[in-house]
Structure formats: C-alpha cells, structure tokens
Structure 1
Amino acid sequence: MTLTPPRLAAPAENRAVPRRIWSMAFTELWERFSFYGLQGILSFYLLYSLDKGGLDLGPAASSGIVGAYGGAVYLAQLVGAWVGDRLVSPKYVVLWGGIVITFGHIALAAVSGLAGLGVGLVLIILGTGALKTNITSIVGFMLDGHTDAKRDAGFSYFYMAINVGAVIGPLSTGFAQSQWGFHYGFGLAAVGMFAALVQYGFSMKRLPERAGKVNNPLPARQLLAPAGYAVTTLAVIAVCSLSGLLSAGNMSSIVTIAALVAAAGYFALILSSARVTGDEKRRVSAYLPLFLLSGVYFGFLFQKFTAISILITDRVDLGVGAWTFPVAWITAVSPLSAVLITPLIARLWSRLGERQPKPVAKFAIGLIQIGLAYFYLLVVSTATGNATIPLLLILLFMALAGSSEVYVGPIGLALATKIGPSRFKAQMVGLNFLTLALGSSLSGLLGQLFAALPSAAYFTIVAVSSVVLGGTLLLARKPLNQRLDAGLQAE
C-alpha cells in the first residue's frame, strides 16, 4: 500500500494572492510614496510666489511643466521596458532605476531654483522609466498560470499599494512643506525612495527566475544603433532647450505628440510583425480604443495636479479654524478613496467570478464616474460664483474622481500582461504605461486651457466628454471583449 504524505499547507498557487506579490507591492508603495510625495507639492512649488517659497511661474507655465514632467516619466518607461527586455535583466533595471530616482529627489531637496528643479526632474524621469515597467513585468511573472480572477485580484492589491504610497506620500511631504518649506518635502520624498530600495534589496533573492534573465537579448553587433539614437535624442533636446524652441508653454504639447508617435510605432510594430499570430493581433487591435480612452481618462484624473491645483490656489479656502489645511493633502484624497474602495471591489470581482463585468465595461464605468465627478464640480463652481469654495466640497470631488481609478488602472495592467503577444510582453506593459504618459501630458494641456476659459464652460466640456465616451464604450463592449479574448480560451 502506498502512503500519501499529509499536506501541511495549501500550495502557493491556491492562495488568493501569491505571497511574493506583497513584497513587490511594498517596494512599489515606497517608490510611489516618493513619486506622489513630490507630485503633491510640485504644482504649488511652481505656482506659489517667491515669498512663500515657490518659483512663481504662473498657471500656464506651471501646468505645462507638471504635465510634461508626468508625461515624460511614463514615456521614459518605454525605454526602460526595452532595456529590461533586451539589455539588462528586469531585476537589475529596477535596482538601478531606484538609485537614480533617489539622487533626483536629493537634487531637488539640496539645490534651489530652476537648476535644482531641472536636474532633479530629469533624474527622476530616467530612474522611474527604468523601474516602473520592469517591476510590473516581475509581478506579471509571479502571476503566470493563475486564473483571470486571481490575476485581477493580484493586480488590484498591487495597485492598492501604489495608491497607499500615493496617499501617505503627499500627506507626509505636504505636512513637511507646510511646516518647514518645499525643500524639506522634497527631502522626505528622497527618504521614501531609500526605503523602497531597502525593501527591494531584501526581495531580490525571492524573485522568479525569469526576472533575472534578459528574455530577448540584443546581439552585441546591434548595440551601436540604439546608442546612436540615445545620443542624438539627448543632443536634440539640449539644442531645443538652449535655443528656446522647448519652453514651459509648449512642453506638454511636445510630450503628448511624442507619446502618440511612440504608441503608433508600437502598435504598428506589433500588428505588422510576422512573429505575432492572428489571434494576438486581434487582441492588440481591440486594445487600441481602450488605450486611447485610458489616456483621456488619466488626463481627466491627473488634472488634480494642473487645473484643480490652479483652482485650489485661486479659490479654495484652506482655513480650518485657526489652522491652515496643508494644500498637498487635498490631492491625497484622490488615491485614498481608491485605496479604501479597492479591497471591496477586488472581493466583489472574486465573488462574481465569471459573472463580473468584462474589462471593457469596467473601463466604461470608470469614465462615466469621473465624468459625473466633473458634473458635480461644475455645480459647485457655478453655485459659489466668484466666492471661495469650501474645502469640504473639493475633498468630496477628489473622492468621487479618485475612486473611479479602480475600474481603469489595475484592469489595464492586468489586461496588458494577459493579452500581449508572447514576443512582446514587456513592450505591452510599456504600451500600457503610455496611457499614463498621454494622461499626464494631456492634463498639462487641459490646465493651460482651464487658465484661458471660464470655469463653468471648462468643467462642462470635460464632464460631457467623459460621460459620452464612457457610454459609447459601454455600447461597444461585446465585440471588443470578444476580440480581447481571441485565442485565449484555447490556450
């Protein structure tokens, strides 16, 4: 008789969320602490007058810089995805990216004026480009072989960690800024990034084997061409900056165009590749409208750093009795609402199983909800006229808009790692992050438009556009979902 040894514990694949996901989630939490800690005070650093410690650059220029910076951060992730796929293993790209980000925050904290701003933001752009797509790819490696429900749950918790960092970052740096000044807030962001590096260092030995390999190595004889492209790009940027062709006013437009061109190139490369099967091409083509609408969605959401920051500076009463509410705390309400709702939504998806809304419907819900949030802001801004807006009403708007992210952000991440062609997995993750590049740069353009239009007209345009786009997507959900699933049931 054969004895079967007792099972002492459920295998890892039966867990609702693999244990190693939490390690990556905490690393991402601290990285997002630093990123959003900076983002929460950056707009106000550019907008505030010199006597308040700011640079006093004006609404249009500030929106242009913030939008371009955010867009460039995510645009750089295409390069990071390529490096992690062709040159260096994702595990080490994440490590070196984190180190560069840390030095960027230190530069912002230690160097005053435009010099510190320029050096710091460039380093953060380069480092975040290296880190973000590759850590997401590592999470995708960890979830390989799991069901769709577990993938969505895993990415939802990973995304929740992103939003936890996005909450405590601005809360911490906002308090430091309000008490001691902007540069102390920047320094605290550097501390958060150092914590991310420590957390990641402890996790490196437990990463999947694929994370330590270059999955699609570039032959040595082909290294010269990308090196030449990199040098040429840097030279063009330097010449444009020195000649005045690149300015605060047009940065967002340039980054938006660059993001669209990069996205078009990636879609064309994947859809024309002989190494991509017919089913894979059908899935990627169905992702195209979701990609564009995600960019629009994040453009509306990221206005908290541009148009809404201008509104807060001009019209919101920050007084709470004798105490002044830290301005960066307002933006923290948006990710906080997403954090609070994520476990409820993730549990709902797990319980519904196959009955849960498909990805296209989830995207549509997110667009419609953020549109309704802007309808609410339209009512508030109209009802108050030219008077100051009570703080509580803006906090409610941030909660309504921020909680919609749970229907778009994590679903987009899960979808990109699921439907991507086997030869272009890393590039699909980078392509998904391009939606954030488009959203960030679009938010800069929208902030400049907000500075030029009456607020009622502006909020009407945004609200109507979002609801109409969400409704249209909802009507088209069945054929799009069918194409997104092409060939997957048989795999």
Structure 2
Amino acid sequence: MTHTDPRNPGTPDTHDAPDTHGAAPGRASRRGLPRGLWSMAFTELWERYSFYGLQGILSFYLLYELSQGSLALDPAAAAGIVGAYGGAVYLSQILGAWLGDRLVSPKDMVLYGAVVITAGHLVLAFAPGLAGLGVGLALIVAGTGALKTNITSIVGFVMDAADGRRRDEGFSYFYMAINIGAVVGPLTTGLAQNELGFHYGFGLAAIGMGAALVQYIPSMKSLPERARVVNDPLPAHRRPLVALVALAAVGAVVAAAATGLLRAENLATVVTFAALTAAAVYFVTMTRSSAVSRDERRRILGFLPLFLVSGLYFGFLFQKFTAISILITERIDLQIGGWTFPVAWITTASPLAAVLITPLIAGLWNLLGDRQPGPVAKFAVGLTQIGCAYLFLLVVSEATGEAHIPLVLILLFMVLAGSSEVFVGPIGLSLATRIGPRAFRSQMVGLNFLTLALGSSLSGLLGQLFTVIDNASYFTVIATAGIGLGLVLFAARGPVGRLLESGLTR
C-alpha cells in the first residue's frame, strides 16, 4: 500500500513499501539480508579505514616532539583540535543530509564526498606543518559530510522491506563493517607511522579512500531508485540565495580564524555550541512542521532523551583520541624489549572489541526475537558499561600511583569501553531510519550523526579538563556520570519506548 507524500500530493510515497528497483539490492543473501547491504557495508569499511587510520595517529602527530616528525603542540590545544575536528566531521553531515534531500541525489553525494576525502588525505600526506594539516582536515570534513549520512540513508532504502528486528540485525552488520575499518585502519597506519613516519601513515589513509571508490563506483548502477533521485528538490529560484549563504558562512569562519577569535583552545567549545544549536533547530523544525503527523511528533520527542545521552556516551568513548591519548603519552611505557609498540594500536583495541562482539550480540537479538530488550534498554546497557570501564581505569590509575600504567591494563580498558558501542551506535542508526518522519527521513539520519558531533567536540572539552585536574577526580566524574545515566535511562525505558513506537508496528 502506498501513501501520499505530504509535500507533493501527486507523488506516491514509498517509505513504507519494499523497494522494487534494482535487482541486486532487493535479493536476499544467504543470511537473509539484502545484497545491497553488503555493497554499502564494504564501501563504508574502506571509508572508515581511512578516517580512523588518520584519527588513530592524529593526536600523536599533534602531541609528539618535533624530532619525531610531529608538531609538539600543548596538550590542551591538541585535545581541542582533535575534538573540534571530529565534531566538525559529524556536524557537516547535517549539511550533507540536506544536500542529499534538496540538491544532489544520495548516490552522487556519496561519490563526490569520497573524491573530496581522498584529496584531503593526499594533502596531509604531502603537505607538512600546520598549513597542510588545516587544508587536509578541512577537505576531509567537507567530504565526509557529503558521504556519511547519504550512504546510511541508502542502507535504509535497501532495508525498507525488513521488519524492526531484521533492521537491527542488518544495521548491526553494517556497523560491524564500520568497526572493521576502524580496526584495520589504525593497525596499518599506526605501523607505518611507527616504522616510517606520520606522513606515510597519512598516505595509507589516502589509499584506503581509493579502495572505497573502487568498491562503490561499480555498485552505483544497482542501487535502489530512491538513491538516484533528489527527494525534495530545491526550487531553482532559491538556489542563488543558498549559494550566497554558503559563501558568507565560509567567509565568517575564515575571518574568525584570521582575527584570532577562532583558536585551537576554543575550537571544541565552538563546535559543541554549533552541534547543540543545530540539534535544537532540527528538533524544533520537525516537531512544528505541518508535514509531521502526531505519531511522528511523539517519536521525535521520544528520541530527544536518547539523543542527549548518546552525545554524552560518545563524548566518553571518543576520549580515546583526547584525554586517553594524553594519558598514553604521559604514563604508558610502549617499549617491549627493543621494539616500540605502535601507539595507534592501543586505540585500535576499542573498535576491535566492538567488531568481535557484534556477531554475538546480533545473533542474540535474532535469537530473542520479540523478547529482546528495546532500544532504550540497549542504550542504558551501553552507558552503564562505559561507566564501569572508567571505574576500572580509576582503580588502575590509583593503584599504580605515579608509576607507569602497564600496557595490558590500558588495552583492557579499551576493550571494556569499545565493546559497549554495540549497544548504542547501531541501535541509534536503526532508530533514525525507522522512526524518522517521512518528510525528514534523511535529516533524521543527520540528526542521529549529530550525537557523534556532540560527542567528538565534548571529548575535546573533556580532554582539556583532563589537563587541569588530577586523574582520580577526573575518572570519578566520568564513571559516576556513565553508570548513573545508564541506570536512570533503564528506569525510564517504558515511557520513552512507548513514545518511540507511536504509530509503528513491528
């Protein structure tokens, strides 16, 4: 049964109908999931390989001494840059989602984004110093904004025919591909950095993006029809105004940087404020739109508490690139005999744990069927677990005193924290593509990615806080917040879950 699109009464809306375009995405694989899911998953794997391959060594490129081929920045400034960069990457995805809805088809947005990201990694590989860093990171921010929400929307199109249980399973495997890239990327770039230098690591990240393009381009011809069209085309007479606004925004950022208003130390604060502002605008716009039904509005309100706690969760998780990276440089002995353990491999333990546990958890959800916990309870488990991971780090930090923390214990912390992601990340993706209003489906995915923007920039602020208070106080605050919020969310799972299910059937 088709429904009428509220923005264009003459156009049937197929958000609730199985996709019948493109044979490859529609056919089931041996696991009972659409084949198109695996094409997008492998494209995303290579894109995440390049992204996390860079991020695994970026903090240390900023922190290490000049003699090690690095920039030797102050730890607070380095944390601010890394947090702001991660936040800006995800914040830009709101713009990418809008462009994929109004100006360029999701299929083409993914292609253009991949090309721009590749250019950014090449700049980092061949242009040294702060200038190369700034230009390279800016290109990666822009390209990732174009790619991420649109490829996730395409996965949602491919999975439209699946019920809620099967969607969670499919998105869990898609998320596993993300985490495989997040593991293999830092393993290889970290080894290259350790043996040859940072710019060789950046070059490997560029090769990863090339592999993403090689994977994606042949699959474009078999994508669902909805990936090939602009969902809500922007009227031609409004396009010059959009171009002027874009130029003004770029000019304002350049002017702020040139005058010193935008500095490394306050970048994370600016991006956090921008992420919260963008989220507020989206929530208000969607809940007040006449194109949004009463049930859709209730689902948006149900998503609000999950959005907030998810932003905090990712702030805790992404500290592996800020506060924990600083801890590693100060208190972890990387020497094993005559060999130096690649520093990027430490943070790799986090996504590796998520990769290894994902098939087990996805299988558990499939086994439990309708008896599995709801999305709110799953979020609560993830928050509580990451709080317990920081409680473990608090105990380790206090037990070792001023001495070095054993490498194996920081790796164990990474495993405890990283494996909690399977209860939050894929569930948020699945929810965003399932509960979003028909008139704002792509934007709802972008709103979900704002939790990552908020978490990344928050991790920068937390990293700066880490540099000015003692370890015991810091880890106590984070552990208490994670466990406490998890318990509160679990207690509220009933009413929040009912809001999320308004007007939906399993």
TM-score of the pair, normalised by structure 1:
0.97
Q: Distance in 1 between matches of 2:157 and 2:336?
A: 48
1:295 aligns with 2:311: yes
Give the corresponding residue for 1:125. Answer: 141
Give the corresponding residue for 1:19. Answer: 35
1:437 aligns with 2:437: no
Residue 204 (structure 1) aligned to one of 211, 220, 224 = 220
Give the corresponding residue for 1:422. Answer: 438
Q: Distance in 1 between matches of 2:489 and 2:244?
A: 42
1:394 aligns with 2:410: yes
Q: Distance in 1 between matches of 2:97 and 2:104?
A: 10
Q: Verify the 8 A CA contact 1:97 1:129 in the aligned structure 2.
A: yes
The Cα of 1:13 is off from its aligned counterpart by 8.7
Give the corresponding residue for 1:225. Answer: 241
Q: Distance in 2 between matches of 1:361 and 1:320?
A: 42
Give the corresponding residue for 2:371. Answer: 355
Q: Distance in 1 between matches of 2:271 and 2:152?
A: 23
Q: Which amino acid aligns with 1:222?
A: R
Q: Verify the 8 A CA contact 2:29 2:35 in the aligned structure 1.
A: no
**SS at 1:386 equivalent:** coil
The Cα of 1:145 is off from its aligned counterpart by 1.9
Q: Which amino acid aligns with 2:439?
A: R
Q: Verify the 8 A CA contact 1:13 1:146 in the aligned structure 2.
A: no
Go from structure 1 to structure 2 and tell me whether the alpha carbon gap of 1:142 and 1:66 turns closer, same or farther (over 3 Å shift): same
Q: Distance in 2 between matches of 1:120 and 1:301?
A: 25
Q: Distance in 2 between matches of 1:273 and 1:50?
A: 54
Structure 1 stretches lacking a partner, 5+ long: 1-9
Q: Which amino acid aligns with 1:62?
A: A
Give the corresponding residue for 1:61. Answer: 77
Give the corresponding residue for 2:282. Answer: 266
The Cα of 1:489 is off from its aligned counterpart by 2.4
**SS at 1:452 equivalent:** coil
Give the corresponding residue for 1:463. Answer: 479
The Cα of 1:312 is off from its aligned counterpart by 0.2
The Cα of 1:225 is off from its aligned counterpart by 2.3
Go from structure 1 to structure 2 and tell me whether the alpha carbon gap of 1:15 and 1:387 turns closer, same or farther (over 3 Å shift): closer
Post-superposition Cα deviations, 1:180-237, rounded to whole Å, max 9, x if no partner, equal: 1000000000000000000001111111111000011111011122212211111110
Post-superposition Cα deviations, 1:336-389, rounded to whole Å, max 9, x if no partner, equal: 000000000000001100000000000000000000000000000000001001
Give the corresponding residue for 2:65. Answer: 49
Q: How does 1:26-37 map to 2 (within 5 A)?
A: 26-37=42-53
Give the corresponding residue for 2:294. Answer: 278
Q: How does 1:82-161 map to 2 (within 5 A)?
A: 82-161=98-177
Runs of 4+ more than 3 Å apart: none
Structure 2 stretches lacking a partner, 5+ long: 1-25
Deviates more, 1:12-21 or 1:42-51: 12-21
Q: Distance in 2 between matches of 1:31 and 1:391?
A: 29
1:182 aligns with 2:213: no
Q: Distance in 2 between matches of 1:196 and 1:339?
A: 19
The Cα of 1:264 is off from its aligned counterpart by 0.2
Q: Verify the 8 A CA contact 2:300 2:500 in the aligned structure 1.
A: yes
Q: Distance in 2 between matches of 1:378 and 1:470?
A: 18
Please, what is the CA RMSD of the aligned residues? Answer: 1.1
The Cα of 1:16 is off from its aligned counterpart by 2.7
Q: How does 1:358-369 map to 2 (within 5 A)?
A: 358-369=374-385
Q: Verify the 8 A CA contact 2:56 2:321 in the aligned structure 1.
A: yes
Q: Which amino acid aligns with 1:321?
A: G
Percent identity of equivalent pairs: 67
Q: Distance in 2 between matches of 1:125 and 1:119?
A: 10
The Cα of 1:15 is off from its aligned counterpart by 5.0
Give the corresponding residue for 2:264. Answer: 248
Q: Distance in 1 between matches of 2:32 and 2:361?
A: 14
Q: Distance in 1 between matches of 2:31 and 2:330?
A: 50
Go from structure 1 to structure 2 and tell me whether the alpha carbon gap of 1:71 and 1:103 turns closer, same or farther (over 3 Å shift): same
Q: Distance in 2 between matches of 1:311 and 1:352?
A: 40
Q: Distance in 2 between matches of 1:15 and 1:424?
A: 30
Q: Verify the 8 A CA contact 2:27 2:34 in the aligned structure 1.
A: no
